[in-house]
Structure 1
């Protein structure tokens, strides 16, 4: 079997995955009755047979498409702008402008973190948090392991198991030593804790440190999330003596083990809601797996190391966190595009495509691309900070070709940036009608309602 033929099989699969899942995402949304789509394509059982490369169902006038993309990229609303677009069905570069210049990426950083985690950990990876008998009589210790996806049900089951063991508990302690370094980075804004965008990075949290038993969304988060976990277990056990400790010896007995969701599920939750806490936790998990350490710097180094091993050149990429909240991160658009192209062309990063929000249908793209050709066929990760908007993902054109793209806009108004980025992605979805050019792309984009997103201020949050 040749390696070249296997690559083709991957391209076929991604075409089906993008269009099929997009249709499902859209039909699940209210008020989308006008969406028309074909019946889902069914993939037969996998075999070892190799296929010829997917070339799409129609020829694309690249000259016309590039002319359209060039004019759309000249939009002043994009400010300092970098873009790279690759045809993942042919391996050809479709369009590039300042793609090598590192720009502030915001939450598009999560694409790097996710890709590294899929490669280093695998989609079935789970975090295991042991609750053990402590060194002092009547004490139990939660050995935090980096699970920020804990919930009350986990702790209720743990309390029941401890009670069944017959142990008389007098105090609950938590050991957070698995992560080192500062739990809040210099490039972050402490007001974002109460705004719900991040929490101090401690290796055990209930729903990412959110207060009030809220499972998702931008709601205020705890300033002491690990201690809150110990308090919650104490409440379940009827114990009020709570503390923090560091175990120096191997525990004698494990009383209960909590398992996190699979990595694929954790990535989906992180991507759909652009959760910064989850992204930081996943970054540290990669660092520990790679033996780099367990602080924020180790996480960024590990992520870049894994990407380099995948053949992604990160020599001009600068990361100070793995979520994108830091204003000091810098990533070239070509890095984003190459990661998405790798996911489209190969099996190793294929799970990345499945967790991306769908345009006009889910996650941070639910209210974008409304009334545009890109609705339902663009799958992408957003990024938003003050003066920054990014978009990176994949889109299937009318021709059947699959395009991988990375786009970053800095130093202008966020809402204008978003509309301009959406126009470019929508133009890719209309590749077979490229001769209609810029006018069609603009008309479609102008037809959509004013872009807005609930629950956060797009001028400050990281989305």
Structure 2
């Protein structure tokens, strides 16, 4: 199995500038600190000049490009062979109109665009500021401490150092560090997943504590993952506190009311969603899915997570009929989602504040994450923000773009049953056509 892989372009461009300044660091500040600047340009009062044309606000009376549906039809026909079994849906959120519907009710294999459902359900159920707390408690035996893993798969060396420092001030003599993984239940590798993807860097056994997403030898990227992620956390903390042994806890290794000796918190949900969407992080998606399950009182399993995800979306007015998901990351080839549902979620995020954080997590075409090397010469470069999805004979693209007519469009394009390169070319062309909407000939 192959890997599954602001607001608008003006903000995306600003983000690139900020990143460049930060990367230059102190050198730039020192090198250019003595420069003198002239007075900034001031627009003369009453000049009538408009330097920035805003995108048309939702609910505006402006009409969309009347030629756009025909242009999308022509592109879909042009790429029909490469797109094979294809579905697409486009909404002009500036007017509320459905611009284009191409078999959008058929449920297709979504690959990592499944993460759009996960992100929406997480925001709706957990809230943007949600964090996961990992505690270390006194064990039942003297000299033993137990890490109560709670689902933080983004622990870092700084997290471990902080826990070790707190333990050092607790007055406890520590000889053994154990990790309790009972917060999650069920299989650690789900049906449809390929165990080879652990060493390929796309997934790890789903255990509720990991260092850097169980990556080995690196902190980011698709590098080989550990087969024993929770044990690795216990071993890291044991080394930090000078304990002689580590391992997995049994049920009686720490009482329910054990004294909490140290604690650390994860990034906020918004930060974790950004990590998940930008680089299509499967482990983060599955971890967030189990957190969703727990928030709804369901079993902290893949089944509980997927059921809770669809339940939340349905209760918030989304049509989930015909949709079936078996994981929250999109690695499962058995997942089926309609383009109509995916577009509806992005359209809601573009028009209502509650889901707005989802848009900020989407990669910018030609600029970052899974879209960094796409749209090199296409009109959508810098304007399309979208979640990708890639599995064998599967390609999806779900996101938003501002057209040249300053209308805001959301879209979901999904292709099954063809070679990936051709599929990507087709969906990228469709998204770029939305950017060109209203362009003068």
TM-score where L is the length of structure 1: 0.84
Aligned counterpart in structure 1 of residue 418 of structure 2, from 394, 412, 422: 412
Aligned twin of 1:227: 231
Distance, in Å, in 2 between the alignment partners of 1:225 and 1:54 is: 49
Is residue 133–residue 251 contact of structure 1 (8 Å, CA) maintained in 2? no
Aligned-residue offset at 1:420: 0.8
Structure 2 residue 65 is matched with structure 1 residue 65: no
Residue ranges of structure 1 left out of the alignment (5+ in a row): 1-15, 31-37, 43-50, 437-463
Structure 2 residue 9 is matched with structure 1 residue 19: yes
Is residue 58–residue 351 contact of structure 2 (8 Å, CA) maintained in 1? no
Distance, in Å, in 2 between the alignment partners of 1:397 and 1:17 is: 14
Aligned twin of 1:459: none
- After TM superposition, the structure 1 = structure 2 runs for residues 55-454 of structure 1, keeping only pairs within 5 Å, are 55=60, 59-62=63-66, 64-74=67-77, 75=79, 76-212=81-217, 214-247=218-251, 249-433=255-439
Is residue 58–residue 93 contact of structure 2 (8 Å, CA) maintained in 1? no
Matched position secondary structure for 2:158 = helix
Alignment RMSD (CA, Å): 2.0
Aligned-residue offset at 1:17: 2.4
Is residue 115–residue 349 contact of structure 1 (8 Å, CA) maintained in 2? yes
Distance, in Å, in 2 between the alignment partners of 1:28 and 1:272 is: 17
Aligned-residue offset at 1:215: 1.4
Aligned-residue offset at 1:247: 4.1
Distance, in Å, in 2 between the alignment partners of 1:145 and 1:185 is: 20
Distance, in Å, in 2 between the alignment partners of 1:311 and 1:210 is: 38
Aligned-residue offset at 1:90: 1.1
Distance, in Å, in 2 between the alignment partners of 1:422 and 1:52 is: 25
Distance, in Å, in 2 between the alignment partners of 1:147 and 1:194 is: 21
Distance, in Å, in 2 between the alignment partners of 1:313 and 1:161 is: 48
Gap change, CA 1:194 and 1:52, over 3 Å in 2: closer
Matched position secondary structure for 1:124 = coil
Distance, in Å, in 1 between the alignment partners of 2:428 and 2:16 is: 17
Q: Deviations over 1:392-445 (max 9, x none)?
A: 001111111111111110111111111111110000011112x85xxxxxxxxx
Aligned-residue offset at 1:237: 1.2
Is residue 150–residue 205 contact of structure 1 (8 Å, CA) maintained in 2? yes
Is residue 20–residue 40 contact of structure 1 (8 Å, CA) maintained in 2? no
Aligned twin of 1:10: none
Is residue 58–residue 96 contact of structure 2 (8 Å, CA) maintained in 1? no
Is residue 177–residue 246 contact of structure 1 (8 Å, CA) maintained in 2? no
Distance, in Å, in 2 between the alignment partners of 1:163 and 1:244 is: 22
Aligned-residue offset at 1:41: 8.7
